[in-house]
Amino acid sequence: MSHDVTNLLIQLSQGNKQVTDEIFPLIYDELKRIAGGYLKNEREEHTLQPTALVHEAYLKLIDQTRVSWQNRAHFLGVAAQVMRRILVDHARHRGAEKRFGRLDKLQLNENIDKAVEMDSELVALDDALKSLAKVDPALAKLVELRFFGALTFEETAEVMGISPRTAKRHWQLARAWLYRNLSQT
């Protein structure tokens, strides 16, 4: 199946828009799992549902003209990034409506992989990830895939082209960096 998705994504990259209807059923369950991973960390009254998040992200992904899809793992990695952007934009919008742009201080314990419950915390984490990306883009991508994308170490390693053991070591380093950064805000 992975091979079929990769072939279809390559065709899509080459301009064959007719394959979009074939790709979606093959990756829908994986996209829904990623969306569910994102939304389990959200507040209960969140207005986006996993299905809506999947559809919004998929539409943005399929409309990409500058991406040369390499394989299924590459597509899922970018999907995780797109879903994160959708949720952060949603949180920023809600925060602007509620607090006119005022962000509360983030309270976070050492378990960075625990649920982020409030919009302001999601925005603060996004800001911290942007700072991490300036220092080490690979660590920021790993956090995005693991935390926001809910990918396993094996899936994250596949997307990033590293070993699962390296992914685990980098995860520990990224968590420590984020904890230190977020504790200072």
Q: Over the chain (185 residues), what is each successive 10-residue block's mean pLDDT?
A: 80 86 89 83 68 88 78 85 85 59 42 46 82 93 81 86 94 91 79
Cα Rg of the chain, angstroms: 17
Task: Report CA torsion sign: 69, 87, 171, 140.
Answer: positive
Q: What is the pLDDT of residue 91?
A: 76
Angstrom distances, CA of residue 108 to CA of 6, 62, 105, 133, 134: 39, 35, 10, 20, 22
* Domain span holding position 92: 2-183
What's the total number of domains in the chain? 1
Q: What is the pLDDT of residue 163?
A: 95
Q: What is the pLDDT of residue 44?
A: 62
For residues 151 and 145, is the Cβ–Cβ distance under 8 A? Answer: yes
For residues 181 and 128, is the Cβ–Cβ distance under 8 A? Answer: yes
- pTM of the shown model: 0.62
Q: What is the pLDDT of residue 126?
A: 82
